Structure 1
Amino acid sequence: MNFKLIGKANLLLSSLIVTLGISTLPASAQQVSNAQVSALVEALRQAAPPNSPNDGMYSQWQILPGNIPRWSKLCIKQELTPQQFEADTAKARSVITCIVGDTLRDEYKASGNNELAAVRRSACWWMTGKSTACTSGDTATYVQKVVNFYQQQRKKK
């Protein structure tokens, strides 16, 4: 998993360099917008199961505690404890936006630039750690729930 985060950090840096290099291209050439990332972040929050005491998950997004220090250090350069993450919704949203943005961009490319397929793949990765493992059962139901919330968010914008 650490290799994946290192790869994501390298991808983030590469994406920044590429973005700066193509900033003069038409908007359609920039595949994933901030509005799309924001819609997916909110869809993941809405689709998350309700917080339950002692369920081992943190924040409205129901994050595994082991991800929080790594993700926060990568995204906001501050290693948060699960308790700090849960207590500060703004920081939590910032970290999640960073991770979800990277994931959505990766899955957008992997899906052949298909927005809804990228959202499905991202939601599956969010739930299972694998972008293509959600074809049936509870994981497929969850992914469809995320897609539905995502589409509602995109209509609002």
Structure 2
Amino acid sequence: MFIRSVIKVTTGILYVIAFGFLGVSYIKDREKTKMALKKAWRAFENILPQFLGIIIVVGLLLSVLNPEVIAKVLGGQSGWLGVIISSVVGAITLMPPFVAFPTAALLLENGAGLMQMAAFVSSLMMVGVLTAPIEIQYLGKKLTFWRNLLAFIFSFLVAYIIGRVV
């Protein structure tokens, strides 16, 4: 409960800072600021279909899997088995960061544990099972294997640290 209120306060502070800098930018150079906002809007429009698609899938999963099931499989009491499941799912899922964090937040709100979501997000961001063929073309099989294996192991270290800190 404490962590969620800290996250909400931090989010509010970051919004205030961002809008403050936007105001400073607007005062300094209105045309550049308008151009930057237009570029940002176009980027948002490009991202929106992916974002909505993932949110719809997560919403459907949350409607099928009630919070009790999520808590049982990925909750704090699921222990290291939940961490393993989360890491594997993260490793084989291809999701951009701007979708991964809201997805983890939705899962947390529906009963998932912090350790499990830390493992999910870290393996999601660092392990590339689906992107391995492309990575092999540039880095080779051996380096790709070791990079992904070490990143997967690191996701457990992240989960352990989050479990100790929180």
TM normalised by structure 1 equals: 0.31
Which is helix-richer, 1 or 2? 2
Q: Specify the structure having the higher radius of gyration (Cα).
A: 2
TM normalised by structure 2 equals: 0.30
